[in-house]
Amino acid sequence: MTSRGTPAADRTADRLTAAVGPVVTAAGYDLEELVVRAAGQRSVVRVVVDRDEGVSLDDVADVSRAISDVLDADEADAGRPPYVLEVTSPGVDRPLTEPRHWRRNAGRLVAVEVGPEKAREQVTARLLRVEDDGIVLAVEKGGAKKGQVRRAVGERTVPWAELGEGRVQVEFSRPAGHRDAGLVVTGPADDAADDDAEDEIDPDEIDTDEIDELDGDALDQRDPAGSGGEQ
């Protein structure tokens, strides 16, 4: 997909999407977005990729090398100034619009409008799983105060036809088993607490560098022509 900019940038983005897409797919990733924007005498090409297993910094570097070859060829054929390439994985602000987006965020807290199109309600709930006919959300209680843990008390199935655009909600922790769970430090659990007790997380114990790695996600910036772009 491409985002809308100037007509010239849109034409370039469409052309590069057609060229870059098969390369990204062959490497085992989905091309989520390709954007071209002007930056002085050069153009910045921002490519967003993802896959079910998640995207590491090493993965980003591998995809960047493959895409660089495509951009080098485009520059040579058209006699264009060099591109500056940015390859990244999706951040938490990326809207959830496709079944694969929902599947890859199972276990996360999401905000979404659900229900018939003319009578939708905004809910914030834990995404438990994705099924053929829709998604399953956890009906939860708690979480009203900062640091309080939300606890599941039931399930709600939402068919695709009654599902609006979703947004991942930023949290200090990830559920066990989530593909990003290992990137985040969580607070100590209190096994003796009952279901209605509040489990507080000490903000001083959170490793903000690891949070940034998760929610900023992997990013690689390079100038494929070696003309001084950001490294």
Please check whether residues 41 and 114 belong to one and the same domain.
Answer: no
Can you tell me the distance from the alpha carbon of 3 to that of 155, in angstroms, rounded to the nearest whole number?
Answer: 36
Please check whether residues 87 and 104 belong to one and the same domain.
Answer: no
Does residue 229 lie within any of the structural domains? no
Does residue 135 lie within any of the structural domains? yes
Does residue 106 lie within any of the structural domains? yes
Please check whether residues 68 and 128 belong to one and the same domain.
Answer: no
Can you tell me the distance from the alpha carbon of 150 to that of 153, in angstroms, rounded to the nearest whole number?
Answer: 10
Reading the block at residue 204, the tokens are: 């001083």
Does residue 230 lie within any of the structural domains? no
Can you tell me the distance from the alpha carbon of 102 to that of 133, in angstroms, rounded to the nearest whole number?
Answer: 12
Please check whether residues 128 and 35 belong to one and the same domain.
Answer: no
CATH number of the structural domain spanning residue 52: 3.30.300.70
Does residue 105 lie within any of the structural domains? yes
Helix, strand, or coil (residue 22): helix
Please check whether residues 82 and 138 belong to one and the same domain.
Answer: no
Please check whether residues 34 and 86 belong to one and the same domain.
Answer: yes
Does residue 120 lie within any of the structural domains? yes
Residue from 73, 77, 13, 81 nearest 47 by CA: 13
Sorted by sequence, the CB contacts under 8 Å of residue 66 that are 6+ apart come out as 23, 24, 27
Does residue 11 lie within any of the structural domains? yes
Please check whether residues 65 and 133 belong to one and the same domain.
Answer: no
pLDDT at 210: 44
pLDDT at 19: 93
pLDDT at 77: 65
Structural domain count of the chain? 2
Please check whether residues 103 and 83 belong to one and the same domain.
Answer: no
The residue assigned the tokens 């003309």 is 227
Helix (H) or strand (E) holding 111: strand 109-114
Cβ burial of 10 (10 Å; 0-12, 13-18, 19+) is: middle
Range of the domain at 191: 99-214
Alpha-carbon torsion (26, 225, 80, 57), positive or negative: positive
Per-residue pLDDT of the chain (231 residues; tens, 9 = 90+): 545 556 777 888 899 999 999 999 999 999 999 999 888 778 899 999 999 988 999 999 999 999 998 888 887 766 677 789 999 999 888 899 999 999 999 999 999 999 998 889 999 899 999 999 999 999 877 766 777 776 767 899 999 999 999 999 988 665 555 555 443 333 333 333 344 434 444 444 444 444 344 444 555 555 544 444 443
CA distances to 89, 188, 205, 214 from 209, in Å = 17, 19, 12, 9
Please check whether residues 120 and 200 belong to one and the same domain.
Answer: yes
Reading the block at residue 64, the tokens are: 């960047």
Does residue 182 lie within any of the structural domains? yes
Please check whether residues 159 and 71 belong to one and the same domain.
Answer: no
Please check whether residues 120 and 205 belong to one and the same domain.
Answer: yes
